[in-house]
Amino acid sequence: MKEIEKTTNHDVKAVEYFLKEQVAKSSLKSRTEFIHFGCTSEDINNMSHALMLRDGQRILRAAQDEMTATIAQMAKATAKVPMLAHTHGQPASPTTVGKELAVVSARLKRQAAEIDRLVMPAKMNGAVGNRATERKGRSVPHFETRENPSWILFASRSRLLFS
């Protein structure tokens, strides 16, 4: 890909050409020109950032679950180990190490549930958000290939959400 980028001097265009080369080797060879159909570089970048965030979140959540399970095990193992609790930096009531670790574990589980509800949205509506490349008769003539295309309606109905 870096070799292609040296000739295009454009990272996203290099990816497009790379994908076209790969698709050209498949049964979809006749459709290579649709790789970048109506998309701007911003659309591609936005999509790739959403996918990277989604995948990164999955990796981090797996590590968080492993850490939470370890803390929960430690809480059970230290359930009867006494310690002095503090509040505002001052000694307070007696507690146990296990109880304090159980609180940490419970908070991590609650936060994990919040993280799991996150959706990584990606937009595909052009460089400035007005879908200019999707409008009939505008800057992208290959949209004329479909009879009465309603790209705005299509994009609205098929919002790309990655969760």
59-84 pLDDT per residue, tens: 999 999 999 999 999 999 999 999 99
86-131 pLDDT per residue, tens: 999 999 999 999 999 999 999 999 999 999 999 888 777 766 666 6
CATH number of the domain residue 74 falls in: 1.20.200.10
pLDDT at 142: 43
Work out the number of other CB atoms within 10 angstroms of the CB of residue 102: 18
The domain in which residue 127 lies consists of 37-162
1-53 pLDDT per residue, tens: 789 889 988 888 888 888 888 889 999 888 888 877 767 777 788 888 888 99
pTM of the model: 0.63
pLDDT at 2: 86
Residue 84 domain-assigned?
Answer: yes
The larger pLDDT score, comparing residue 115 to residue 136, is at: 115
Rounded to whole angstroms, how far apart are CA atoms 76 and 99? 9
Residue 56 domain-assigned?
Answer: yes
Given a cut of 90, is residue 85 above it in pLDDT? Answer: yes
pLDDT at 154: 55
pLDDT at 156: 55
Residue 15 domain-assigned?
Answer: no
Residue 125 domain-assigned?
Answer: yes
Residue 7 domain-assigned?
Answer: no
Residue 150 domain-assigned?
Answer: yes
pLDDT at 148: 53
